[in-house]
Amino acid sequence: MLEVTNAEIGYGPVTVVEDLSISVGEGEAVFLIGPNGAGKSTTLRGVLGLNRLTRGTVSWRERDITRLPTNKRAALGIALVPEGRHVFPQLTVVENLEVAARAVGAKDVEARVEEVCAVFPRLAERKGQTAGLLSGGEQQMLAIGRALAQRPRLLVIDELSLGLAPVVYEQVGAVVRDLARDGLAVLLVEQNAQLAMSICSRGYLMSHGEVVLAGMVADLERNNQMRELYLGGIEKAV
């Protein structure tokens, strides 16, 4: 479905990601993990077209989209759950979802809102509440819900657990896990290796802008570097 090949991505003269290749298959959940500064979020920005590649390609269903604008990528079925959630704080829950649905030209906006509320019953209870008054966990649900309102083929999530208590991110993670099991493709950037491995079937470990380890979760769990992730955090593994 998605293939990034030999990508070089940066900010002005500074190269952050170099010679990176990753892929996500149809209905596959894949993670990117690594320490702060490893280039994970920059990689996502390259996938979404928010940062242009200075070298390499991004392909979507065998079509080169390297130069395609971000809004056109969204229309193809790539939806982002951004780091920090970035909900519209002055809009209600329903209005946040409606904005997302209309952004991709949906004609069945109300139906899409109800679909999201079925996935997140808590949002159904908060429909008329302004997003800025939601708890952190509820805002993360809304951020995911906004992406789902676009009915994506690929859900791209940047730091699912950031700023959330363990009990909350485990609840939200369980929803994403169910979505993945139902066939929605997921590309997850995450600091919490255990959470990432519980959701995804395959993954990549990044360090200093490069992929240093890749494989199926079952194989990665037997790898010494990945074992360190469970014992002492990502920083000890790279």
Read off the pLDDT of residues 195-213 as tens digits, 9 standing for 90 and up. 999 999 999 999 899 999 9
The pLDDT value recorded for residue 229 is 55
Exposed, middle or buried: residue 136 (CB in 10 Å: 0-12, 13-18, 19+)? Answer: middle
Would you say domain 2-77+154-237 falls under CATH 3.40.50.300? yes
Domain range list for the chain: 2-77+154-237, 88-151
Region of 72 on the Ramachandran plot (φ > 0 left; ψ -120 to 50 alpha; else beta):
alpha
106-146 per-position pLDDT tens digit: 999 999 999 999 999 999 999 999 999 999 999 999 999 99
Instruction: Tell me the whole-structure pTM to 2 decimals.
Output: 0.91
pLDDT confidence tier of residue 37, bands split at 50, 70 and 90: confident
Cα angle value 160/164/166 (rounded, 5°): 95
Mean pLDDT of 219-234: 67
The pLDDT value recorded for residue 175 is 95
DSSP 8-state assignment for residue 157: E
**CA 127: distance to chain centroid?**
24
The pLDDT value recorded for residue 223 is 83
